[in-house]
Chain A
Amino acid sequence: MSPIRQRLVVVGNGMAGMRTVEELLKLDAQRFEITVFGSEPHGNYNRILLSPVLAGEKKLADIMLNTREWYAQNGITLHAGDPVVAIDRTRRIVKSQRGQEVGYDRLLLATGSKPFVIPVPGHQLPGVISFRDIQDVEHMLAAARDYKRAVVIGGGLLGLEAANGLLRQGMEVTVVHVMDTLMERQLDKPAARLLRTALEQRGMRFLLQANTESILGESRVTGIRFKDGTEVDTDLIVMAVGVRPNFDVAKAAGLHCERAIVVDDTLQSLSDPRVYAVGECVQHRKAVYGLVAPLWEQAAVCAAHLAGLGHQRYPGSVTSTKLKVTGIDLFSAGDFIGGPDSEDLLFRDPRRGVYKRLVLKDSRVIGAVLYGEVKDGPWYFELMQKRVDITPFRSRLLFGRAYCQPASNAEQAA
């Protein structure tokens, strides 16, 4: 234990940054004097669970990960609602919006990402929001109380979760999507069709291949116009067309950035060995992640290096997705489209609304789409991550782990 503690400043009070801190505390609680800056006026909460909160299935208290008490108990200084606006790497200090300056020995950037807003005319009107944080959820809940109609732009994971939440809050919801199929980054077309049918049965409406031209309204949004000239009246527009890594401060500080802050396998910035970065603001081996599992993996590696136990490496992540819409079971992972040298396993049971597809390459699972029956998703994901040769139980693989158990046990024993 060093008598004089080093200073760690964490920029970003979100899931990635705080998970890194938690991991670090587990490894060495005394090493750093920790200061955390965050733009939101809360403790750290589970952003993924905003959808259930919006849908009324969970309360805000349910999704809090680290309360203010927790920071106090662990001797961490939290500046919530006061984002860092500049980094002076020469002097090794950060400056906050409110003018605070804090010096660091190690800097951890965990600035996450910003929702992308399509810059169409009217995008700044009141009633046009994103779906990223607690404030957005509060806006939507308020709108649901006062208004009837909502349009969600974006038929991806987040857009559908937002639309489902608004639907559950009693609004009439139309999802507008520029592609001809929903969740095209996670689902193949047959699964997307099943999903669309299921959501339509719940009352969700869809306008696919719809290009937004402008948002209509004077003091508040009243409608949306498409390039084909059609218009839809609405009281609320949620833009859920994707996120962009938030690395403005890092870039301004002269750190090497491409699509995000570029880090190596130790999550260290390429430009400055005192600066680490984790989460959605990071570009690692050309990949930028927007899902939770990679964050956890990055956090563990990064914490180890911060703690001086620098033997771990982060090799990148394989990702999987679930849609958090109650009653709709959907799982997607990896390369679920495949290519000329990949192979498909397909199962269809339309009457039961089940569709499963596994993409194989060199006798390994490289992608999965499960709809209607997702219980084995995690297992397939595990097979993907561990690159297990599935040859011994290929004929049973798609029927699930329960049917493969004897075969896979045998394989493990061998």
Chain B
Amino acid sequence: MDGSSPHSVVVKTTCPYCGTGCGVDVRVSGTTVEVSGDPVHPTNAGRLCVKGSALGDTVGPQGRLLYPAIRRQDGDQSMERVSWDAALDHVAQGFRRIIEAHGPDAVAWYVSGQLLTEDYYVANKLAKGFVGTANIDTNSRLCMSSAVAGHKRAFGEDIVPVAYDDLELADLVVLVGSNTAWCHPILFQRIVKEKERRPEMKLVVIDPRRTATTEMADLHLPLRPGTDVWLFNGLLSFLHQHGVVDTAFVEDHTTGLARAMAIADNTAGDLRSVAAQCKLQESALSEFYRLFARTDKVITAFSMGVNQSSAGTDKVNAIINCHLLSGRIGKPGAGPFSITGQPNAMGGREVGGLSNMLAAHMDIENAQHRSLVREFWQSPTMADKPGLKAVDLFDAIDEGRVKAVWIMATNPVVSMPDADKIKRALSRCELVVVSDVMAQTDTTAFAHVVLPAQGWGEKSGTVTNSERCISRLRSFLPPIGEARPDWWALSEVARRWGHAEHFAYTAEHEVFDEHCRLTAAGNRESGVGDRDSGGEGIPRFLNLSGLVGMDKDAYDGLRPVRWPVLAIPDSRLPIPEVFSDGRFYTPDRRARFVPTAPHMPVKLVDEDYPLVLNTGRVRDHWHTMTRTGLSPRLASHVAEPFVDLHPQDALLCGVREDQLARISSRWGSCVARVRLSGEMQRKSVFVPIHWNAQFASDGRVGSLVNPVVDPVSGEPEFKHTPVRVEPFMVAWHGFALSRDDLPMADAAWWTRITGSGFTRYELAGRKQDGEWTARARAMLGVTDPDADWLEYEDRSAGVYRGALIVDDRIAACVFVSPRPDLPSRAWLSGLFTKDRIEDVDRMGLLVGEPFERGEDTGVTVCSCFGVGRKTIERAIRGGCHTPKALGAKLKCGTNCGSCVPELKSIIAQTLVPG
């Protein structure tokens, strides 16, 4: 392989997918990019999950946004290529015009956990410090803002107090609302591996669904969706009742127990009522409580199932309360652990990417913090109140209060709740700027200006993973087209607004250095001598003073490092673990018990919408598929959007497995294939989040999701929307595989995935017209009447199959049936990698299966009965020495008799000795 050739160089970088943050070794040789796990990265030690392993498939130019472009104001409203200068002038002037006319809060940024820390830092600085608006929010709002809010309420700062190594030290790992096996595979592998080593280690999974994660659990609690607070209040009460209390810790380092305890006792004081509320077996619940109670080293790791809820922040605090009560925090192998979804959700939090934060973990509403940052930035104007959170932000756009938005590295038309409203809002917005790597996304469709961003492999910077580990993303490919760093584009706009000297960055390490300096600025825990010198300043745990002053080389050579990184003179000393000294970052340095009064999700099921929609990921796709959709390997795991139901509910809804169903809520609807995996509890349905208009006609589950948010964090309730499921009636089902992209005009429903050398379309239609011969050719764009076109038709059964061969290679094929009983796509897909379709493949082409040679019968001798020469020879050797005897045995020669002479000669030849 090229990858092992001596000319290739290994570049160490970081995976751009989930918040696990695995190290990746990249070898580039020629046009191939090979990736493997970085054996020395502390997170993954050489392992990579399937998505990470397929990164090489996703770095090509396919579908990329190559140049800045501005939408024409006249004519066809198409996008016109312009220079970067022209595009940035347009953005700068457009924003300035609106700011001057309507004030700074009339503009906004909507950014992403996909941005690098440097991009994030500059965006936040520009908005909050130089435009003077905090209207910069991020898609991390949709993902882990409840964890942030919970951390801040309990600890005074957004601090994740657990590291991955702790998972291997724990005796009990509780996973709440997390399909870790699919969404954080490497983390899960570390847990599983440790559990294999120490079978006494226990794994409890709390999730309404049965998932790949629950398969590995010692105990699975399939709780009723939305009842987590009852469950953890019950645990708090149970621990208290059974004396599992770290009295010294609670008394010395926390406040607020009494109220939290009273609420817990009142709402979840006895096991039976909790079990009933959560729809769990009392015995299973009690087993979990007792296990938790008797195990010191407990980690409660949680993810979207906790965060994406109207009670998300309370869920987080209900979990943290249990750890505070039992003193299981700040110790090895114990603590509450938020696992983030995105590669740089944490980095974004560090630089203040959320609209209610400032920068470097400081608060926008704290005047002392504000003046510190303002001084540091020397900013002319400073936002002094929280900006709009994601859902409110798009509401404000919809209502015309925000008139310009710059969307970076995210696809809100797909990913936001009530996503059809996002379309409406953007279509009303005066100026929509989108920075993205892809040309065609559901969101770029609404852009007035598009700016080409650098993709993974091109861009350079840092990200922070779920355990506060900062890793470098290094570039190993030249930027495609005119793609530029996002921090550069932002700085260029700042320059156009007269802030050149404050945004005079020439490279990303300069941005990072400024960020590090800000974390150290006025930080009482500067790391010199005592951690808390007791002097002036604001104690902040986020402290990168030890990374200040890196030049380009040092930055390029930066090894993965967990913060805080203090400028301690003797760097060989271990960094004290978080909270190990019992000091928190509230004004009184005590942790807070937060009373969590449970409530059910805001929107409950009713007669019209009787099922609860849960959303989430599938194993091999990421977000809105703009990258994973390019990889044939990843696409084949789950080829199309599906809705998973309990078989009983499917019966009640009148839908059947493999057929299409429409899932509707009060906000919108989508269409997906019905799946009865057996993983769903009654009244619950699951639809994956990934599909969008680029990959399916009607697959955006975001359009259904209710826009209810958590009152504290503003995080939407993605995991609980009342819906109904109905059959999506179609007259035909089909699929097409094609080397060229196909127009999908004829289909009422379609979805598309990438294969090796082709695109696969799953199709369904309503038009009942048996004339498929012409229709299929039109669908596949075959205009030449003499084209090499094979077809099969069973018209009365509504079955049609056609295939186009060009230069002996398969160019396209289409299969249609009234039922979803189509042949497997697997073998057909393989034909697209062949340079030549052999006759034997051609035979099977329209069957959709290879022609399996049975016993070789040889060339046909008797065509009346289809008897082959080899069969005849076998019969001769078996004793049939006359044509008559052969005829009696094989029927050959007994009809027209024309083969009898040949039979005679075969007998003669076969009976010749030797």
**Chain A residues in the interface with B (C-beta under 8 A):** 46, 48-49, 52, 58, 62, 65, 292-293, 296, 322, 324, 343-352, 374-379, 394-396, 398-403, 405
Contact = CB atoms under 8 A, between A and B. Distances in A.
The 7 A-B pairs with the shortest beta carbon distances in the complex, nearest first, are A343-B796, A351-B788, A346-B793, A349-B790, A378-B866, A399-B847, A62-B901
A351 B805 contact: yes
Nearest to A348: B791
B895 A292 contact: yes
Interface string B844-873: 101101011110000010011110000000
Contact of B863 (A351, A377, A400): A377
A400 B866 CA distance: 12
A398 B845 CA distance: 13
A292 B792 CA distance: 32
Interface in B892-911: 894-898, 901
Given A322-B863, A396-B847, A403-B847, A46 B898 contact: yes
A396 B863 CA distance: 21
Contact of B795 (A324, A343, A348): A343
A347 B898 CA distance: 28
27 contacts: A46-B896, A46-B898, A48-B896, A58-B901, A292-B897, A343-B794, A343-B795, A345-B793, A345-B794, A346-B792, A346-B794, A346-B795, A347-B846, A351-B790, A375-B860, A375-B863, A377-B866, A378-B866, A395-B794, A398-B794, A399-B792, A399-B846, A401-B866, A402-B853, A402-B854, A403-B849, A405-B854
Contacts of B774: none
Contact of B895 (A296, A398, A399): A296
A375 B796 contact: no
B185 to A, nearest CB: 38
Interface string B766-804: 000000000000000000000011111111110100000
Contacts of B853: 402
Contacts of B797: 343, 394-395
Nearest to B823: A395
Residue from B799, B852, B901 with most neighbouring chain A CB atoms (10 Å): B901
B206 to A, nearest CB: 46
A350 B789 contact: yes
A300 B854 CA distance: 34
B496 interface: no
B843 interface: yes
Nearest to B852: A402
B633 interface: no
Given A296-B894, A347-B792, A348-B791, A376 B851 contact: no
B881 interface: no
Nearest to A58: B901
Contact of B864 (A322, A346, A376, A401): A322
Contacts of A292: 895-897
B374 interface: no
Nearest to B867: A378
Interface in B112-147: none
B842 interface: yes
A49 B898 contact: yes
B897 A65 contact: yes
Contacts of A46: 896-898
Contacts, number: 96
Contacts of A324: 898
A53 to B, nearest CB: 11
Nearest to A406: B852
Residue from A349, A376, A402, A403 with most neighbouring chain B CB atoms (10 Å): A349
A76 to B, nearest CB: 19
A398 B860 CA distance: 19
B895 A293 contact: yes
A52 B792 contact: no
Given A343-B794, A346-B793, A346-B795, A376 B866 contact: yes
Given A322-B864, A349-B842, A399-B843, 14 more contacts: A292-B895, A322-B896, A343-B794, A344-B796, A346-B795, A347-B790, A351-B789, A352-B842, A374-B863, A378-B863, A394-B797, A401-B866, A402-B854, A403-B849
B792 A398 contact: yes
Contacts of A322: 863-864, 896
Nearest to A331: B863
Contacts of A296: 894-895
A52 B846 contact: no
B51 to A, nearest CB: 36
A246 B792 CA distance: 44
Contact of A52 (B788, B894, B898): B898
B706 to A, nearest CB: 43
Residue from B805, B842, B898 with most neighbouring chain A CB atoms (10 Å): B898
A362 to B, nearest CB: 12
A322 B895 CA distance: 12
Contacts of B854: 402, 405
Contacts of B794: 343-346, 394-395, 398
A290 to B, nearest CB: 13
Nearest to B787: A351
A371 to B, nearest CB: 14
B472 to A, nearest CB: 56
Nearest to B853: A402
A379 B866 contact: yes
A289 B119 CA distance: 88
B412 to A, nearest CB: 44
Contacts of A352: 839, 842
A112 B586 CA distance: 113
Contacts of B791: 346-349
Contacts of B863: 322, 374-375, 377-378
A379 B790 CA distance: 23
Contacts of B898: 46, 48-49, 52, 324
Contacts of A48: 896-898
B855 to A, nearest CB: 10
Given A343-B797, A349-B790, A349-B842, A403 B851 contact: yes
A120 B896 CA distance: 33
A395 B821 CA distance: 10
Contacts of B852: 402
A291 to B, nearest CB: 9
A402 B865 CA distance: 14
Contacts of A379: 866
Nearest to B847: A399
A19 to B, nearest CB: 10
Contacts of A400: 843
A162 B842 CA distance: 34
A293 B791 CA distance: 33
Nearest to A351: B788
B787 to A, nearest CB: 9
A205 B674 CA distance: 59
A396 B847 CA distance: 7
Nearest to B895: A293
Contact of A49 (B839, B864, B897): B897
Nearest to B901: A62
A47 to B, nearest CB: 10
Contacts of B866: 375-379, 401
B860 to A, nearest CB: 6
Nearest to B805: A351
Contacts of A377: 863, 866
Residue from B788, B789, B846, B847 with most neighbouring chain A CB atoms (10 Å): B847
B827 to A, nearest CB: 13
Nearest to A382: B865
B871 to A, nearest CB: 13
B805 A344 contact: no
A344 B849 contact: no
A164 to B, nearest CB: 15
A405 B855 CA distance: 12
Contacts of B849: 403
Residue from B789, B794, B853 with most neighbouring chain A CB atoms (10 Å): B794
B43 to A, nearest CB: 49
Contacts of A374: 863
